[in-house]
Amino acid sequence: MLRPYCIILTVKSRGERSSPERTGTILIVDDDRVGRQLLGTLLGAEGYDLALAGSGAEALDCVAGLTPDLILLDVVMPDMDGFQVCQRLRADARLAEVPVIMVTALHDRDSRIQGIEVGADDFISKPYDRVELLTRVRAITRLNRNRRLLLDRLQAERDRTSAILEALGEAVVVTDVDGVIEYVNPAALDQTGFDRADLIGQNFRHWHTDRRLQAYYDRVDEGDKTLAWHGELISPRRDGSFYDAVLTLAPLRDSQARGRAVGFVGVQRDITPLKQAERMKDRFISNISHELRTPLSIITLLSGNLDTLYDRLEDEKRRGMIRDIRKQAQLLDDLIGDVLEIARIDSGHVPSVNRRLNLAACLREELTKQAPLAAGKALAISITGPDELPVRGDADQLRRVIRNLLNNAIKYNRQGGQVACECRAAADAADLGADWPGSDELGAGAWAAVKIADSGVGIGAKDLPRIFERFYRVKNRGNIPGTGLGLAISRELVRLHAGHIAVRSRRGQGSTFAFYLPLSGDDQNHHDH
Ligand code: ADP
């Protein structure tokens, strides 16, 4: 709010207002009322807004609520003279840049020197020449306006850059030319666990101990400050641990320093997830090679034996060897199929068909297909549940899940054992109850549930948490063929359908596998099996 004695006048003649040269607020400080008004009339006619103050104290009161574009300051005033006012203005950060024209007596050299010392920008001698006064006022207000525009633009640019840096996911570190850290963005703190105070003032060159980077710093020190560096390295965290990172370090050039480097900017990305995925892929590939070689070497061995020992072997023995060769060939085929399926899932190329289908029908059909296999082991197979269990998804993929679970239930069963299948629609997880493994981990909503329980060899507590891993197979299971990929694929496919798969088992006491998919509402009556 403006004080009552800080008079603001707007004396604009028509047409003047539109001129950008002549806008702005001028504060006139003069203890002489007539002098004040004369100046006011003169400048008001030029289109400026005016604020009038009759003393130094009034002037200071006035600027408390207003930042003028120019101050015309009389030097000789009682109580507080123009020099003191000017000094006070310059001490205030907000007002330090406001141009001040001092109005002094003619040829008063000492006053002018003193004026410059306290920060005045220009002088006008009293009695003033109107034309000279207006010219000076125009020139200085124009200069000031341009300066302000530039400063505003710079500030806006700075705010933008800083917002970008603050929002960036990559760590950004700015150092001086010797590597002393001047700025770090929030991502740098997140990545390293350090506080800002830990880092500012430290030397970034001590951050990494990488030899290549040290060699780079040596070259920088030898004078080559135009170089940039890019590479992967191990980066430390505050807690003493390390992470994989990729760093780009580039000189910051300053046009005012003739393009010389005035510092360095480092941008560092945490590539731990990328590295982990790479390691997993490497392990996967080495596992595949191993798994493919096993049946292949058995085939080679058996066929070699068959060839060399053919005449010495009885028919039954030969047939047995041929059966074994075919079994291994089948395994090889399964393995290749499973690996391709996993590769497809990993590459994200699994078609996500979102058709409404009847899961109960899929279960029954897969059961019928595997009946001969079960009969070979004299297994008793049962199925309970509704005829309709609507879900949305891809029938082939969901059949594959059912096939894997059923196949395991038969494969790892004992002679004359049982396989009990059940499917159900559940209004929510609580509706299913403790008989359904993993149902307590389900989220809200209605679920289509499928359970396959067998009376087979079961799975020990040590193996149980790992059986969904790729290639994980429980040891000492005789020679039951398998790829170790069936459950891993099943889990991925169920996950792709926003579902959940779980197991409960004890060694020697059979296993119960269950999977759950979001139950489809009655929005459509079209079924696609
Ligand atoms: P595999 O091709 O070896 O059957 P899976 O991924 O289907 O691969 O299963 C991984 C391992 O989990 C199997 O090797 C087996 O040891 C164990 N397993 C899976 N299902 C059962 C089950 N119903 N009963 C006992 N063990 C099972």
Contact 444, 454 (CB under 8 A): no
pLDDT tens-digit readout, 130-187: 898 999 999 998 888 888 899 999 999 999 999 999 999 999 999 998 999 999 999 9
Pick the residue with more confidence: 178 or 104? 178
Residues paired with residue 500 on neighbouring β-strands, in sequence order: 516
What's the CA-to-centroid distance between 436 and ligand 1, angstroms? 19
What's the CA-to-centroid distance between 93 and ligand 1, angstroms? 75
Residues 213, 209: Cα–Cα separation, whole Å: 8
What is the distance between the terminal CA atoms of the chain, rounded to a whole angstrom? 77
Please compute the mean of the pLDDT values over residues 254-262 and round it to a whole number. 78
User: Is the pLDDT at 431 greater than 70, yes or no?
Assistant: yes
272-309 and 315-346 helices cross at what angle (nearest 10)? Answer: 160
Contact 61, 83 (CB under 8 A): no
**Ligand 1 atom showing the smallest separation from residue 473 Cα:** 14
pLDDT tens-digit readout, 390-405: 999 999 999 999 999 9
Residues 398, 391: Cα–Cα separation, whole Å: 10
Residues 490, 470: Cα–Cα separation, whole Å: 11
345, 402, 412, 475, best to mutate for ligand 1 pocket (most atoms within 8 Å of CB): 412
User: Is the pLDDT at 3 greater than 80, yes or no?
Assistant: no
What's the CA-to-centroid distance between 473 and ligand 1, angstroms? 6
Q: What are phi and psi of 94, to 5 degrees?
A: -70, -30
Residues 347, 54: Cα–Cα separation, whole Å: 80
Contact 8, 48 (CB under 8 A): no
Nearest CA owner, ligand 1 atom 18: 408
Residues 396, 207: Cα–Cα separation, whole Å: 53
For the chain, the 3-state helix, strand and coil shares in percent, each to the nearest 5, are 45, 20, 35
Of the pLDDT bands very low, low, confident and very high (cuts 50, 70, 90), residue 490 is: very high
345, 407, 408, best to mutate for ligand 1 pocket (most atoms within 8 Å of CB): 408
Pick the residue with more confidence: 525 or 271? 271
pLDDT tens-digit readout, 293-335: 989 999 999 999 999 999 999 999 999 999 999 999 999 999 9
Residues 172, 6: Cα–Cα separation, whole Å: 49
What's the CA-to-centroid distance between 468 and ligand 1, angstroms? 9
What's the CA-to-centroid distance between 384 and ligand 1, angstroms? 24
Of the pLDDT bands very low, low, confident and very high (cuts 50, 70, 90), residue 522 is: low
Paired tokens of 226: 């135009």
What's the CA-to-centroid distance between 105 and ligand 1, angstroms? 104
What's the CA-to-centroid distance between 456 and ligand 1, angstroms? 11
Nearest CA owner, ligand 1 atom 7: 486
Nearest CA owner, ligand 1 atom 16: 474
Ligand 1 pocket by C-beta < 6 Å: which residues?
404, 408-409, 412, 454, 456-459, 467, 472-474, 477, 482-488, 511
What's the CA-to-centroid distance between 339 and ligand 1, angstroms? 16
Q: What percent of the chain has pLDDT over 70?
A: 94
**Ligand 1 atom showing the smallest separation from residue 454 Cα:** 23
Nearest CA owner, ligand 1 atom 14: 473
Find the range with the poorest average confidence among 22-26, 179-183, 406-410.
22-26
Nearest CA owner, ligand 1 atom 12: 467
294, 342, 379, 467, best to mutate for ligand 1 pocket (most atoms within 8 Å of CB): 467
What's the CA-to-centroid distance between 459 and ligand 1, angstroms? 8
Q: What are phi and psi of 32, to 5 degrees?
A: -90, 115
DSSP letters, 397-433, are HHHHHHHHHHHHHHHTSPTT-EEEEEEEEESSHHHH-
Of the pLDDT bands very low, low, confident and very high (cuts 50, 70, 90), residue 16 is: very low
485, 487, 505, 512, best to mutate for ligand 1 pocket (most atoms within 8 Å of CB): 487
Of the pLDDT bands very low, low, confident and very high (cuts 50, 70, 90), residue 15 is: very low
What's the CA-to-centroid distance between 340 and ligand 1, angstroms? 19
Pick the residue with more confidence: 253 or 180? 180
Paired tokens of 516: 């759950």
User: Is the pLDDT at 529 greater than 60, yes or no?
Assistant: no
CB atoms within 10 A of CB 341: 19
Helix (H) / strand (E) containing 138: helix 130-167
pLDDT score of 524: 47
**Ligand 1 atom showing the smallest separation from residue 457 Cα:** 25
Cis preceding linkage at 127, omega within 30: yes
Query: Which of 442, 427, 431, 458 is closest to 501 using CA atoms?
Result: 442
Q: What is the average pLDDT score of the chain?
A: 89
338, 473, 505, 512, best to mutate for ligand 1 pocket (most atoms within 8 Å of CB): 473
- With b for 16 or more beta-carbon neighbours within 10 A and e for fewer, the 161-192 pattern comes to eeeebeeeebbbbbbeeebebebbbebbbebb
What's the CA-to-centroid distance between 467 and ligand 1, angstroms? 7
Paired tokens of 388: 């309709």
What's the CA-to-centroid distance between 363 and ligand 1, angstroms? 19
